[in-house]
């Protein structure tokens, strides 16, 4: 399945969403989705959010974020999301099928945020079904508040497991990656970057 251009929405409903923020085309147009209630509701807050997210991801993936800026700089338009990615994907309580993001133009990065980190979350994993460590049938990364991962969405198949969330809690994922629409770049092929200590020991139970 291809991401970005999937014919059927996998994120329908208030409890399982992915929303776009920022530029959608080569014109000076941008979109803000207030449904997620993350405090981004105007151009100023969008730019502030974009810069804060980009700086946070840059602390762990400076080369990825630097290359992202370089790739999208080819588009001669002013970014509405600050000095990093021209578009931002934000999910809430996301789970989806494994897919590739066919419109990605290079490596991106995400950070996951839990509304109430004191509450327990079960089955919250980011899965790479086509990757392997020491012969494993895929790789599952246990997600937690503040974890950051970098991968190439067009090269690495990925998905998110359906989490069990306590009442009143919510799980957010904030993602930045360069998009083909802003660049002709088609290079960069390396495996995903992650913390091996976060891997679940029984991968076969998570991957069909």
pLDDT at 36: 73
Q: What is the pTM of this model?
A: 0.78
pLDDT at 185: 53
pLDDT at 161: 93
Q: Is the alpha carbon torsion for 174, 131, 208, 154 positive or negative?
A: positive
Q: Which residue in 95, 89, 90 sits closest to 16, CA to CA?
A: 95
Q: What is the pLDDT of residues 56-92, one digit of tens each?
A: 999 999 999 999 988 887 666 667 888 888 889 999 9
Residue partners of 182: CB distance under 8 A and separation at least 6: 23, 26, 71, 72, 74, 75, 86, 105
- In this prediction, residue 38 has a pLDDT band, given cuts at 50, 70 and 90, of confident
pLDDT at 7: 30
Residue partners of 187: CB distance under 8 A and separation at least 6: 106
Share of the chain above pLDDT 90, in %: 41
Quickly tell me which residue has 């804060």 as its tokens.
52
Residue partners of 39: CB distance under 8 A and separation at least 6: 45, 49
pLDDT at 144: 94
CA distances from 24 to 38, 79, 80 (A): 20, 11, 11
Kindly state the average pLDDT of the residues 160-177: 94
The residue ranges of every structural domain in the chain are: 9-118+145-154+164-188
Query: In this model, does residue 98 exceed pLDDT 80?
Result: yes
Query: In this model, does residue 120 exceed pLDDT 90?
Result: yes
CA distances from 17 to 12, 89, 189, 206 (A): 6, 10, 29, 22
């Amino acid at each position: 399945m291809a991401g970005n251009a999937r014919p059927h929405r996998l994120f329908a409903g208030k409890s399982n969403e992915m929303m776009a923020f920022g530029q959608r085309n080569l014109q000076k147009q941008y979109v803000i989705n207030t449904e997620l209630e993350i405090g981004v509701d105007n151009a100023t807050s969008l730019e502030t959010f974009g810069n804060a997210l980009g700086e946070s991801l840059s602390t762990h993936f400076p080369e990825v974020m630097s290359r992202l800026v370089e790739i999208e700089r080819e588009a001669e338009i002013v970014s509405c999301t600050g000095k990093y990615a021209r578009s931002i994907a934000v999910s809430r309580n996301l789970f989806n099928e494994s897919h590739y993001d066919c419109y990605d133009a290079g490596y991106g990065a995400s950070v996951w945020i839990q509304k109430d980190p004191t509450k327990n979350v079960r089955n919250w994993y980011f899965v790479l079904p086509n990757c392997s460590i020491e012969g494993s049938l895929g790789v599952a990364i246990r997600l937690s508040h503040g974890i950051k991962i970098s991968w190439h969405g067009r090269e690495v198949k990925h998905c998110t497991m359906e989490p069990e969330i306590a009442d009143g809690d919510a799980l957010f994922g904030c993602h930045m990656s360069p998009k083909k629409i802003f660049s002709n770049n088609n290079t960069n092929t390396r495996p995903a970057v992650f913390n091996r200590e976060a891997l679940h020991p029984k991968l076969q139970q998570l991957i069909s």
